């Protein structure tokens, strides 16, 4: 009888542990934050801007379009004198050892009414990562006039997220998110499955434009 009671008790304990484990897994799954949700948290003003321009916008329409290795160009020596005017607009990682350069390639800076403003210096877009320790600048994104990058931020000390999109017919816009692991030279692209009805060049996150 004692052995039977012990066996029953052990069986009950095992069943309880299994239920607890299952419950914990369900809770963990329900509280897991998706990559798109993380991007929305990181760029609240940008996502609000998209929503204000086209009420159909929802982050649920982003899908993973590509996961691939990147053939990055070698880092180039940092031209500090050329980059210095853009220092206030760099996006630094947590320990400030690296920064995202969103503007120095094709945004010209000038003064207007005592404030710094920007003006497009060319149709193309280049995004680079500055490595202050090694004093280098490395291109991580380059595209022609049909693409625009609205903002960029750090996910961790090696990974950046870029939010922008593809300009369609000058008045429609298909957003995308690029997640770039600079150290591993890998990227993940999240594409939007629809187009938004607005001119995407209307948004500038960090520099007022002429």
Model confidence at 32, pLDDT cuts 50, 70, 90, reads low
What is the pLDDT averaged over residues 168-185?
A: 93
Determine if residue 59 is left, alpha or beta; phi over 0 gives left, psi from -120 to 50 gives alpha, anything else beta.
alpha
pLDDT score of 122: 87
pLDDT score of 35: 87
Q: Worst-scoring range by mean pLDDT, 78-82, 95-99, 134-138, 201-205? A: 201-205
Beta-carbon count within 10 A of 172 CB:
17
Q: 200 vs 15, which has greater pLDDT? A: 200
pLDDT score of 200: 78
Cα 69 to the center of its chain, rounded Å: 17
What is the pLDDT averaged over residues 132-157?
A: 95
**pLDDT tens digits, one per residue of 180-199:** 999 999 999 999 999 999 88
What is the pLDDT averaged over residues 37-47?
A: 92
Whether 30 shows a pLDDT value over 50: the answer reads no
**pLDDT tens digits, one per residue of 55-84:** 999 999 999 999 999 999 999 999 999 999
Q: Taken in order 201, 34, 157, 179, is the CA torsion positive or negative?
A: negative
Whether 6 shows a pLDDT value over 60: the answer reads no
Measured in degrees and rounded to the nearest 5, phi and psi for residue 30 equal -75, -25
pLDDT score of 104: 96
What is the pLDDT averaged over residues 135-148?
A: 95
């Amino acid at each position: 009888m004692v052995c039977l009671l012990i066996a029953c008790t052990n069986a009950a304990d095992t069943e309880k542990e299994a239920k607890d484990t299952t419950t914990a897994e369900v809770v963990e799954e329900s509280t897991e934050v998706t990559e798109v949700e993380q991007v929305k948290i990181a760029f609240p003003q940008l996502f609000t801007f998209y929503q204000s321009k086209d009420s159909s916008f929802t982050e649920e329409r982003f899908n993973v379009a590509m996961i691939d290795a990147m053939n990055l160009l070698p880092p180039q020596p940092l031209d500090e004198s050329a980059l210095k005017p853009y220092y206030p607009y760099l996006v630094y990682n947590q320990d400030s050892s690296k920064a995202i350069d969103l503007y120095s390639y094709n945004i010209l800076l000038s003064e207007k009414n005592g404030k710094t403003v920007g003006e497009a210096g060319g149709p193309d877009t280049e995004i680079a990562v500055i490595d202050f320790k090694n004093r280098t600048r490395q291109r991580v994104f380059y595209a022609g006039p049909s693409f625009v990058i609205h903002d960029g931020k750090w996910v961790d000390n090696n990974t950046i997220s870029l939010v922008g999109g593809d300009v369609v017919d000058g008045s429609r816009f298909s957003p995308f998110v690029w997640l770039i692991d600079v150290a591993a030279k890998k990227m993940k692209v999240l594409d939007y499955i629809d187009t938004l009805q607005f001119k995407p060049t209307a948004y500038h996150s960090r520099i007022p434009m002429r």
